[in-house]
Amino acid sequence: MKKTVFILIFCLALILASCGKKPSAAKLETIEGVTYIHNPETPLHPDKTVSFEQELAIGKFDESKEIPLYKPSRYMVDTTGKIYISDESDKAIKVFDQNGTFLKSIGRRGDGPGEFNSIGYMAILPNGNILVMDFQSRRTSLFKPDGEFINSYPWRTNISRIYLATDSSYTVNESIYKEEASELWVKMFDFLGNELVSFGKFSSPEFKRITQRGTQGNIMVSMMPVPQSPSSKFAGDQERQWLYHCLNNKYLIEVYDQNGKLFRKIDRPYEPVPFTSEDAKKFLSRFEARPDSPAAKLAKQIELPKVKTVAERLLVDDQGNLWLETNEEKKEGEKTLRAYDIFNKDGFYDARVWCEFPPDLFIAGKMYRLAEDKETGMNTVNRYRVVWSKE
């Protein structure tokens, strides 16, 4: 009897010890000046959760039953809470206060100074000036905080996105197009288009193409990205002027400083998610309506992957934490949740959270995202309160 009781107590002690076991620490090593942070499979705070409580939606009718924002596209938020949203309907940037009240417009449709043909990526500089890229006009314009036009300059190369910005420069993608493929670079330019820093050459998504003769004898080229093909994902830490990069077919995050120097690599054990027959069926179903179209022919030529890529997206929140959006999903009632791995400012695996929709921009304890309003079908820019669980 005593022996049985002892065995039971011993087993119970093992169970309690296992339940109270803390995650193992990350292992650090330095190789040729680069610090490698090898994180364990379990985060530092495995029970940490986050939720987003909506408190504002901009894009619906205002009190006068007018629509101040017809077709919102890109947006940004300044330190005072003012929200700047590009409206593709009239090629202007609409400014709203923190309560969602319309304040003013910046720019308008046109080719002149301070005018836009296609509003692209935007940034608010540390001094409060506003930087706007115009893809169709191939130029970048600068405005004062009150919306007054300062100047603009034409692009010398093909640039897009904005990862980092200072009062005198911005870090962007540069695409160099070639006959069979394109090259993707990340570079820092000043506001005259002069290259200041090159972060290096990175990987673009793989494309399949088909060339065929049109009904009038003209040559037509159709292209389609290969699902889950390896490509580079980026995020900028504006406060520290760091650039994060992940080639999304493996769990390895590279960190560059403002001078383009690679100084840190972050990894953790990870098992890729299988690309199932259901995923393949879902992909091919997009072309069932037009089975003879160039897109349908391309889809049939693509060799679908066996596993999904590791990272869908990177973003940095207002605390300097890096979020890595994975391809892992789970059902919770009617909801489909996706897993996000969060790394703290030191590169340690802090938490894994599950989100119903993708978070986008974090500012002053709030999260913003572009969403479709279920009632009207219109796009809105929504603001949410970020609620973390108590640890």
* pLDDT (0 to 100) of residue 127: 96
For 387, other C-beta atoms within 10 Å of its C-beta total 11
Q: How far, in Å, CA of 391 to CA of 378, rounded?
A: 38
pLDDT tens, residue by residue, 330-360? 999 999 999 999 999 999 999 999 999 999 9
Domain membership flag for residue 281? no
Answer yes or no: are the C-beta atoms of 336 and 329 closer than 8 Å. yes
Question: How much is the pLDDT for 242?
Answer: 98
Residues sharing a CB contact under 8 Å with residue 73, sequence separation 6 or more, in sequence order: 85, 86, 87, 88, 119, 370
pLDDT given for residue 310 in this prediction: 95
- Structural domain range at position 119: 24-273+308-388
16 is a domain residue: no
> What is the tens place of the pLDDT at every residue in 15-54?
444 444 455 789 999 999 999 999 999 999 999 999 999 9
Contact 204, 217 (CB under 8 A): no
Residue 286 domain flag: no
- The answer to whether position 34 is within a domain reads yes
Mapped onto helix, strand or coil, the DSSP state of residue 232 is strand
- Residue 298 forms part of a structural domain: no
pTM, full prediction: 0.89
Q: Answer yes or no: is 147 within a domain.
A: yes
pLDDT at residue number 289: 87
Rounded to whole angstroms, the Cα distance separating 67 from 250 reads 45
Q: Which residues contact 294 (CB under 8 A, 6 or more apart)?
A: 210, 212, 220, 222
Q: What is d(CA 36, CA 39) in angstroms, rounded to the nearest whole number?
A: 9
Digitized pLDDT (tens) for each residue of the chain, 391 residues in all: 444 444 444 444 444 444 444 557 899 999 999 999 999 999 999 999 999 999 999 986 655 556 677 888 999 999 899 999 999 888 999 999 999 999 999 999 999 999 999 999 999 999 999 999 999 999 999 999 999 999 999 999 999 999 999 999 999 999 987 766 689 999 999 999 999 999 999 999 888 776 665 556 666 566 778 889 999 999 999 999 999 999 999 999 999 999 999 999 999 999 999 999 999 999 999 888 888 888 888 888 888 999 999 999 999 999 999 999 999 999 999 999 999 999 999 999 999 999 999 999 999 999 999 998 777 778 899 999 999 986 5
Percentage of residues of the chain with pLDDT beyond 90: 73
**Position 295 in a domain:** no
Question: Strands 34-38 and 262-267: what pairing?
Answer: parallel
CATH number at 241 reads 2.120.10.30
What pLDDT score does 219 carry?
62
Looking at the domain assignment, is residue 282 inside a domain?
no
Q: Give how many domains the chain has, as a whole number.
A: 1
Q: Is 303 helix (H, G, I), strand (E, B) or coil?
A: coil
Biggest distance spanned by C-alpha atoms of the chain: 94
**Cα-flanking dihedrals φ and ψ of residue 281, to 5°?**
-65, -40
